[in-house]
Structure 1
């Protein structure tokens, strides 16, 4: 993780908005979500994106017409920007939250676990992307689905992975998860 300045981060956002086909933006700001994947603005039925570092977890999204939000820190309420940059020979991730601007590459070394998670779904496709700094090789994984059955599989994988990244999410958005632990009925 490297800290970058706000001006450089704004340059990355400008590149995404100007249709850079090698960059994607997942943005939540003041209850509004914007998704640009490979230079194209995407309409979505469901979206979840999250960032986790050590004990800090934040998740924003929209599922079933309802906004979802989870944060382990009350100071991170209004925005999260995740840029996935594949314009060089390696993937880079640029994140803005709580007025912090950080960038990652697949080759960085980390003292604590950092995870970046994005999931977007509409009637035509679903896309799941996960970055996990603790993996030794292939830290970035991507799953794309474009049939009804594979979209359902992508949703299952996404919601399962989200619980692994942010265990407290099941209490924050109970409409997505059944609590069977200790339930003997």
Structure 2
């Protein structure tokens, strides 16, 4: 069962996305976590088991939360926890829009075909399950084509994507990799 607390205070566009998700009208996904509970829904299917890490860097604020193994976390540990919802709207294979609700602020991130002003916004979302890995990135520092969304069931590609994702996350959140190893207890990622 999906926790209602993860879907409180939805913005108007989030309400529409939730309706589309429930009616299975489009390829809509939602990843949500508040540091104490989480959910991962893809095509109206609640995933279990899964690991989820969401990192948001915006307006000089950094927030990294997720679920690793069976444990929920926020990093750095002394940061106050906040709900993050990442809606992934796959319009076409190469056209993905991220709808973000972080600290009760809703905004959208997507590719621009034309060069636009830089912004310091970064969003990294890594979801891995026993059968697949999904990696989503938005980097506002790039001049255009700022986002990427990769899904693979290939074991080799999954391992490579996890290495890239953890490297990026650790660069933006120094010490995260060691924290996750301690969180896991024995140093092995949950698969």
TM over 0.5, shorter chain: yes
**d(CA) in 2 for partners of 1:49, 1:14:** 23
Would you say 1:81 and 2:85 are equivalent positions? yes
**Could you tell me whether the CA contact under 8 Å between 1:52 and 1:166 is conserved in 2?**
no
Report the equivalent of 1:113.
120
Report the equivalent of 1:141.
148
Report the equivalent of 1:68.
73
**Could you tell me whether the CA contact under 8 Å between 1:144 and 1:154 is conserved in 2?**
no
- Structure 1 unaligned segments of length 5 or more: list them: 177-185
Would you say 1:165 and 2:172 are equivalent positions? yes
Change in Cα spacing, 1:141 to 1:17, as seen in structure 2 (3 Å) is same
Instruction: Return the match for 1:127 from 134, 140, 159.
Output: 134
CA shift at 1:171, angstroms? 6.9
| TM-score for the superposition, normalised by structure 1 | 0.75
**d(CA) in 2 for partners of 1:42, 1:21:** 18
Change in Cα spacing, 1:52 to 1:39, as seen in structure 2 (3 Å) is same
Instruction: Return the match for 2:106 from 76, 101, 106.
Output: 101
**d(CA) in 2 for partners of 1:110, 1:44:** 39
Instruction: Return the match for 1:17 from 14, 17, 22.
Output: 22
| TM-score for the superposition, normalised by structure 2 | 0.73
**d(CA) in 2 for partners of 1:31, 1:145:** 28
Give the 3-state SS of the residue equivalent to 2:29 in structure 1: strand
Count of aligned positions: 171
**d(CA) in 1 for partners of 2:78, 2:143:** 29
CA shift at 1:141, angstroms? 1.6
* 1:20-59 map, 5 Å: 20-29=25-34, 31-59=36-64
Give the 3-state SS of the residue equivalent to 2:39 in structure 1: strand
